[in-house]
Amino acid sequence: MILATGGAGFIGANFVLDWIAATGEAVLNLDALTYAGNLESLASLNSDPRHAFVHGDITDRPLLDRLLAEHRPRAIVHVAAESHVDRSIHGPAAFVRTNVEGTFTLLEAARAYWGGLATNDKAGFRFHHVSTDEVYGSLAAGDAPFTERHAYEPNSPYSASKAASDHLVRAWHHTYGLPVLTTNCSNNYGPYHFPEKLIPLMIVNALAAKPLPVYGDGQQVRDWLYVRDHCAAIREVLARGVVGETYNIGGWNEKPNIEIVRTVCALLDEMRPDPAGSHARLITHVADRPGHDRRYAIDARKLERELGWRPAETFETGIRKTVRWYLDHADWVARVQSGAYRDWVATNYSAR
């Protein structure tokens, strides 16, 4: 089995669902269930013995030691993090705690566990760190996309804390020999995305005829990847990646934010027309994010060259699926918006 951290969040839940469907291997899912953790995203695994959930924090070393000793995973996929840039601007402490201290604690627990494994298990063990392209900073319009060799130039408290975690992971390999893999991925979108991030926020606001807040001129560029493509890339890297290497993951889909928002509006106009007029009438430019990175772009050729991975979805197919998913899962959205999803643990687990 493998241990996944943060498996109740957006990418983590998609990863757990994808992993079990694709490999059939069991997952021990450790998640603190912050506001971003939602076990309802994993409701389809409720009676599946291949998914075991543990409500706990990655900064809790005794818990980590106990879980590793009891379950003896062959790999750790570290997804847990504080992940929202705007929240990191308002309250950076949680980002340093989870992303830096939490990664450090997990690395130390992994090192102790790995050190005690028998030779074969030790050679096969992997610590896969899931990170972001934001560690590389911001590109100007004509700059080449980020390769794995790009300098680290993080600009937000979020990206600085992720950069710090990447450095710790690197050092635990170079100093202690821990068999690590790191992936740096571009912006994800897809099902189970908490509606504080651009794409799900625009979908749920448009459906409620609320303003669609575009920061500044909306010309900031991100490279968008459908979340299930990210999950497939993690599987490939975990299976065949070279220990100690980092791999960039991207969708080859650079788009300015305003174009993303207009695309979401056009799809909603088609799938759920509003008698009051096009959803694009709701677009509202608001004050820019402080220190807002202008452009991210990923060069994912290393992953393609060495492991043969390419995204299965184009932006057009992925965004259509995503909008459809939100229309078909109004209950999931409503329970996130009302906060009812946070009662799920008590409802589902208290009697077990």
Q: Which residues bind ligand TYD (CB under 6 A)?
A: 85, 187, 197-198, 201, 213-215, 220, 222, 257, 289
Q: Shortest gap between Cβ of 94 and ligand NAD (angstroms)?
A: 8
Residues 134, 166, 229, 299: which is the catalytic one?
134
Binder of residue 220, out of ligand TYD, ligand NAD, none (CB less than 5 to 8 A by kind): ligand TYD
Binder of residue 58, out of ligand TYD, ligand NAD, none (CB less than 5 to 8 A by kind): ligand NAD
The footprint of ligand NAD on residues 115-174 (CB under 6 A) is 130-132, 162
Binder of residue 255, out of ligand TYD, ligand NAD, none (CB less than 5 to 8 A by kind): none
Q: Which of 53, 172, 194, 247 binds ligand NAD (CB under 6 A)?
A: 194
The reply on whether position 263 binds ligand NAD by CB under 6 A is no
Q: Which of 6, 137, 190, 191 binds ligand NAD (CB under 6 A)?
A: 6
Binder of residue 233, out of ligand TYD, ligand NAD, none (CB less than 5 to 8 A by kind): none
For the chain, what is the HEC assignment?
CEEEECCCCHHHHHHHHHHHHHHCCCEEEEECCCCCCCHHHHHHHCCCCCEEEEECCCCCHHHHHHHHHHHCCCEEEECCCCCCHHHHHHCCHHHHHHHHHHHHHHHHHHHHHHHCCCHHHHHHCEEEEEEEHHHHCCCCCCCCCECCCCCCCCCCHHHHHHHHHHHHHHHHHHHHCCCEEEEEECEEECCCCCCCCHHHHHHHHHHCCCCEEEECCCCCEEEEEEHHHHHHHHHHHHHHCCCCCEEEECCCCEEEHHHHHHHHHHHHHHHCCCCCCCHHHHEEEECCCCCCCCECCECCHHHHHHHCCCCCCCHHHHHHHHHHHHHHCHHHHHHHHHCHHHHHHHHHHCCC
The reply on whether position 185 binds ligand NAD by CB under 6 A is yes
Question: Has 229 been annotated as catalytic?
Answer: no
Question: Has 134 been annotated as catalytic?
Answer: yes
Residues 82, 133, 229, 293: which is the catalytic one?
133
